[in-house]
A and B are shown apart, each in its own frame.
Chain A
Amino acid sequence: MDVRLSPEQQALRDSAARVVDVLGPRTVRQLEDPERAAKLDAAVAAAGWREVRTAVDDGSPCASAVEAAIVGEELGRGLADTAFLGPTLAAELRRLAGAPASTSIETVALVPGLGALAAADVGQLREAAVAIDAAGSRSALVLAPAREGYGVAEVRLSALPIRVDLTRTSVALGTQVAVAALDGQARPLGDQDLERWTALGLAMACADLVGAMRGAVELTREYATVRRQFGVSVGSFQAVQHMLADAFVAMEGSHSVTLHAAWAVDALPPRDALAAAALAKAYCARAARSVCETAIQVHGGIGNTWECLAHVYLRRVLLSSDVLGGAGPSLARVLEHHGIGGTHANACGPEARRRSGESSAARSEHGTGAI
């Protein structure tokens, strides 16, 4: 066991960090600067980061989920307003189905609560769906019926983008939208493929959450040091220091579980990889919301205005938390892996996802726990 990043992985992290530090939005106003956003998008495209999960000759991915998580964490930290999570998950779906890599940017569509991959019946979506992280994508992948297991289908994206997360767009899909089977699928997807795919999605969402927490803590630390009240910097007050310390500690714990989840995607059997990813997601989703709430609180009145980046972090966190299940459904998955409760939370196929979505709503009302 040696869970340090290799020199190559450190270099990858450094280069992703440089790209977002130079080209990412540093203020809310910069989110409206199309020239900057286009440069960031071009830099991410040139680096090939969206292709890390495309297949090489033997069908294995170009790079492991650890590399995907390293890039994802930096993009989250820098609030990168370019697509990464969606295209990476689409590439993984193609790889698992043995389909050729896409020649243009595409993403995936999830069920409305984002708890699972959306599914189609013959010719149309089974229910409304949401294409996530859809900037630059003209189509999204969903599950399709197949004689055995599942197939992959694509839907065209024509509706206007929605921006709850100000850095990543979604597109809502009605059931009438046309669905076409993806060309060149070499094999159907089995339950294990879907578990592996879900594990990757959860681990990458965790990496984004860790990055967002790191960015939010840094933004807030800086502000607390500069902002003066009562003639002193508010960061000198113990009450404020303890909030920041708790946020930092939550981020560190999240980092540890996320490293393991990312490693597990390619190293463990699918069922165990999914359990590791769900455990990380439960921890990170709870932590990230709390950290971003701290960011807003410490920014005071300014933190409650649109101009402050704190809510941009929170909004990004809300999306990444919901992708493939937030704290509640992820905790249900963890418990089920230990033989307790919910008979279907761990399955990732279309039959299971409704039920896991329902248990998510029931469980997520329970607040934040220890952090």
Chain B
Amino acid sequence: MDFGDSPEEARFRTRLREWLKTNDPGLPASSTDDAYWAGQARWHRSLYDAGFFGLSWPKEIGGQGLPSVYEVIVDEELAEAGTPPRPSLGYLVQGILEHASDDIKQRFLPGIVNGRDRWCQGFSEPDAGSDLASLRTRAERNGDDYVINGRKIWTSYSDDADWCFLLARTDPAVAKHRGLSVFAVPMRQPGIEQRPLKMINGITKEFGEVLFDGARVPAANMIGKPGEGWALAMTIVSHEREPGELGYVARYKKVVKELTRRVRSEPSRFGSEQIRDLGWAIVEAEMLRLHVCRRLSDRLDGISHGPGGSVDKLLMTYAEQAVGHAALAIGGAAHDGGDDTGLKVYLYSRAQSVMGGTSQIQRNLVARRILGMPAS
């Protein structure tokens, strides 16, 4: 049991730390500013090209085949340097690795990992949020293609995406969980319209709505088998819930560090309640870092796609929202028209208990799948 670096890990950490000294893109926190999303693709490629992204993924797809604990080192050093977090798309990679054919893996994974191709994830629909399996977007076979009609919403990164990881209904005749399939759909085509959604903190580049009106996708772009969509989606969301895949620890630590700096520079401006909120944010962010260490160490025994992701998602949500509360407490709501970063961090944090499955859905999963409590 050792939280310390091995000699190789220490060398890697030093190399990364040196690189970050001259390669910080100087972007704002991802949750507060459209400028982040404008520069995110470049940050991804820059990290990848320097050998600091995709560390634990297989070499065949552009990864480095290292133990997953290296991702913790990256998160820690990015946080320490105050740079943006690593891009969060590990869940797509895990889903494709687990379910797709070799052809699909070879065609799509290298571009996802190296950041040359931008992806969004088309799951939720206006009438299919928590009840995802009731989704209605149709994909109908037409020659060598499928033709897609329907509407996806709350789609992250859709405005910038080259590809959509689309969950659609291919067989309306069978039970709702069984008639779904996944496709890699090219976004830049006439049958697709993308509309940005403005989030409650004002950012417009992260969240979108995607309309499919006769869009086409080659049948060869189906990921997994026909009807395997639900299983694939569940693999994806189980990883989407893991802070180890998302790298959000760095984002939380960056905010906490900035808030701490502000309080230290002007301690008399802040009362005990504000300082207490900051204290809990420090505790929660560090808890999440240590929890990720534990989870990624467990992966040395092999990757599992179990319900533990729901536990992680809830812990991540508490951390993000504790950090959000501290940002509001220390930064204030900017009623005077001043710096509203704290307000934006706070408002964005409310999404964490909804995205990737609400906290209520996560609690259902923990109670049923982990604690084995009886169905109602």
Interface residues of A (CB under 8 A from B): 1-6, 9, 66, 217, 221, 224-225, 232-233, 235-238, 240-242, 244-246, 248-249, 252-253, 255-257, 259-260, 263-264, 267, 279, 282-283, 331-332, 334-335, 338-341, 362-363, 366, 369-371
Q: Closest residue of chain A to B312, judged by CB?
A: A252
Q: Is B128 an interface residue (CB 8 A)?
A: no
Contact at B321–A1, with CB atoms within 8 Å? Answer: no
**Known contacts being A238-B364, A264-B3, is A252 close to B315, with CB within 8 Å?**
yes
By the criterion CB–CB under 8 Å, are B1 and A4 in contact? yes
Contacts A257-B287, A334-B282; is A340 near B263 (CB within 8 Å)? yes
Q: Verify A4–B297 contact, CB threshold 8 A.
A: yes
- Chain B interfacial residues counted at CB < 8 A: 54
* B residues less than 8 Å from A224 (CB atoms): 373
Interface of B toward A, CB cutoff 8 Å: 1-6, 9, 69, 72-73, 260, 263-264, 267, 272-273, 275-276, 278-280, 282-284, 286-287, 290-291, 293-294, 297-298, 300-301, 311, 314-315, 318, 321-322, 360, 362-364, 366-368, 370-376
Residues in A with CB closer than 8 Å to B267 are: 340-341
- The answer to whether A6 touches B1, judged by C-beta atoms less than 8 angstroms apart, is yes
CB pair B279 A331 closer than 8 Å? yes
26 contacts between A and B (CB under 8 A): A1-B4, A1-B5, A1-B297, A2-B297, A3-B2, A4-B297, A4-B298, A5-B1, A221-B371, A225-B373, A235-B373, A238-B376, A240-B373, A242-B364, A245-B364, A246-B363, A248-B370, A248-B371, A263-B1, A267-B3, A279-B283, A282-B279, A331-B279, A340-B279, A366-B276, A370-B280
- Closest A residue to B264 by beta carbon equals A339
Q: Provided the pairs A242-B360, A242-B367, A370-B322 are in contact, do residues A338 and B260 lie with their beta carbons within 8 angstroms?
A: yes
B90 to chain A, nearest CB (A): 18
Q: Would A235 and B374 count as touching, CB distance under 8 A?
A: yes
CA distance A263 to B318 in the complex (A): 24
Give the CA-CA distance A363 to B271 in the complex, in Å.
12
Output the residue of B73, B275, B367 with the most chain A CB within 10 A.
B367
Expressed in whole angstroms, the Cα–Cα distance for A246 and B366 within the complex equals 9
Inter-chain CA distance A58–B322, complex, in Å, is: 45
**A1-B9, A238-B364, A249-B311 given. 5 additional CB < 8 A pairs?**
A66-B1, A225-B374, A257-B291, A259-B294, A370-B284
Closest residue to A70 on the B side, CB-wise?
B1
Give the CA-CA distance A121 to B294 in the complex, in Å. Answer: 45
List A contacts of B314 (CB < 8 A).
245-246, 249
CA distance A66 to B3 in the complex (A): 12
Q: Can you name the residue of chain B whose Cβ is closest to the Cβ of A287?
A: B287
Interface majority SS (helix, strand, loop, mixed), chain A: helix
Residue of B whose beta carbon sits closest to that of A259: B294
Contact A370 B293 (CB under 8 A): no
* Chain B residue, CB-CB nearest to A251: B311
Contact of B293 among A9, A232, A260, A335 (CB under 8 A): A260
- B264, B293, B315, B370: which contacts A1 (Cβ < 8 A)? B293
Q: Which residues of A contact B300 (CB under 8 A)?
A: 2, 4
- Residues in A neighbouring B366, C-beta threshold 8 A: 245, 248-249
Asked whether, in the complex, the Cβ of A248 is within 8 Å of the Cβ of B311, the reply is yes
For B6, what are the chain A residues with a Cβ–Cβ distance below 8 Å?
A: 1
Quick one: which of B279, B301, B360 contacts A334, CB cutoff 8 A? B279
Closest 10 A/B residue pairs (Cβ): A241-B367, A245-B366, A245-B363, A256-B291, A242-B363, A236-B376, A331-B279, A236-B374, A3-B297, A235-B373
- Which of A2, A332, A335, A363 has its CB near the most chain B CB atoms (within 10 A)? A2
**B280 CB contacts on chain A under 8 angstroms:** 282, 331, 369-370
Given A1-B69, A236-B375, verify A341-B293 contact (CB < 8 Å).
Answer: no
In Å, the complex CA distance between A135 and B9 comes to 46
Q: Cβ of A240: which chain B residues have Cβ within 8 Å of it?
A: 373
Q: Closest CB of chain A to B281's CB: distance in Å?
A: 10
B-side contacts of A363, CB under 8 Å:
272, 276
**Cβ–Cβ contact A257 & B290, under 8 A:** yes
Which one, A236, A260, A263, A369, contacts B373 given CB within 8 A?
A236
Please measure, in the bound complex, the distance between the C-alpha atom of A370 and the C-alpha atom of B374, giving whole angstroms.
Answer: 27
Once bound together, how far apart are the Cα atoms of A245 and B366, in whole Å?
6
Q: Which residue from B69, B294, B367 sits with its C-beta under 8 Å from A245?
A: B367
